[in-house]
Amino acid sequence: MPCASKNLDLERVVVIFSFSSPIIKAVPTLRSCLVSFTDAEGIEHSIRVPAESLYEAAIEAMAAFRRGAFAEMTFGSATQLRIRVRAPEEEHTVTVGKVMSWMDGGARSSNELVKKNRLKERLKR
């Protein structure tokens, strides 16, 4: 799959590479994504999640972090999540605020609406 190199700076969002579009175009199959963030003490934490899109990877990782050692942690809107995608390898950085804005925004299709609702439920657990 060809990968367009982009360098966008939108509201502190840096997309180093995109799946096709930094917004939501889905990758046709699930891909393994390593999502990481750096805490207030400067320690980087990572988790691997399967996802079809950049935002899905971010939300699945936040939900997984909350189910684990970071159950009491609140991700601020400026928290940056680094997302590394395997096969072929790509890396993205997006703020939690941008992810939450996408999730709370409108859906362009019924499939996207179903996905957003499922992801909202994942964060509540």
- Average pLDDT of the residues in 82-107: 91
Residue 123, pLDDT above cutoff 60: yes
DSSP, residue by residue, 74-96: ---TT-EEEEEETTTTEEEEEEH
Residue 26, pLDDT above cutoff 50: no
Which of 96, 4, 91 is closest to 55 using CA atoms? 96
- Average pLDDT of the residues in 83-104: 90
Residue 121, pLDDT above cutoff 50: yes
Give CA–CA dist 124/46, Å, rounded.
20
Label residue 39 left, alpha or beta by phi (over 0 means left) and psi (-120 to 50 means alpha): beta
Q: How many helices (H) and strands (E) does the chain have?
A: 3, 6
Write out pLDDT tens, residues 11-25.
Answer: 333 333 333 344 454
User: 3-state DSSP helix/strand/coil percent for the chain, to nearest 5?
Assistant: 30, 30, 40
pTM over cut 0.75: no
Helices 96-104 and 54-67, interaxial angle, to 10°?
110
Write out pLDDT tens, residues 78-89.
Answer: 999 999 998 778
